[in-house]
Structure 1
Amino acid sequence: MRKSRFLSFAFQCFVIVLFGTVAAFADMIITTRDGKQYSVPVNARDVMKIEYTDTRPGGADERGLFEGWRKEGVRYHGCFRDQGGVGTAGRDLSGFAIEDRGMTNEKCVSICQGKGFRYAGTQAGSWCFCGNSFGRSGKADNCNMKCGGNRDDICGGDWANSVYEVR
């Protein structure tokens, strides 16, 4: 995907509720370096796929928006028990594991997608596990630990994975 550089980036969003269904429509206002403004209509699905680069005085600050877990096909399955020994042996998600104190659900989903796994699970606030199946040990009710990289989100619990389907 080609990234474009813009000086400003804004949304005007309209939300409509029709018979219990929410539909969101938005105009994306883009101002280019030469000062021209464009209004681009987008729907909620398009907005979730936007990636942009924001150039500010003093240097470029690149940020990707709506990555990984918000893409089409990513679905939260719930909180599931884990068990195991060394590494990924015996784990509910047994394909790959990594610990990162800055872990988020988005980061874990992105890692597992990149490695070709079907499921991603965060655990204990800083762990990410990937695999192609889950649920051997059943559901859990203790996914209550905040993510190290996003204190507003939950990244599993003690021996419990917050599980996402990533494809």
Structure 2
Amino acid sequence: MSDQMAGGCACGRVRYTVAVHDDDAYLCHCRMCQRSTGSVSIASKNVKQAELCWDGEPDWYDSSPIAVRPYCRECGTSFGFKFKDGSENIDLTVASFDDPSRFEPKHHFGAESMHRQWLNTEGLKEIRTDEYKKLVDKWVEATGEFPG
């Protein structure tokens, strides 16, 4: 059984729907993913390209001799990774889904580049966005309300 799920970029120019058959996702720590996203790791969901429908075509970055990466040229959102060799699958970034909460990491990839100090952050102070008055005030001044 599969569910249709939707996602998109920060500015809304690129949207997608895709059939999702399970909750399995993974964290990639390879240097290519780190550099292309500017993050220490990236959460990805592997899906079938034939079951992915783009509404607003993403731009494609030719990131290496073996892969390309979809992204939005307007806001910079990274959508994932796919091999150039005609593979039937594509990895989508978990955070680009409208509701990423259903996915669960099942493994790490690119472990040679893993920054372990960023994996288990339990115990660190947690600050909610709406508790940061300076940020809330800036939003209210700019838009009249705090997005929440």
| TM-score interval, smaller chain | under 0.3
Instruction: State which structure, 1 or 2, has the greater radius of gyration over its C-alpha atoms.
Output: 1
TM-score by length of 2: 0.25
Structure 1 or 2: more helix by fraction: 2
Provide TM-score, normalisation by structure 1: 0.24
Between structures 1 and 2, the one with greater strand share: 1
Relative contact order higher in (CA < 8 Å, ≥ 6 apart): 2
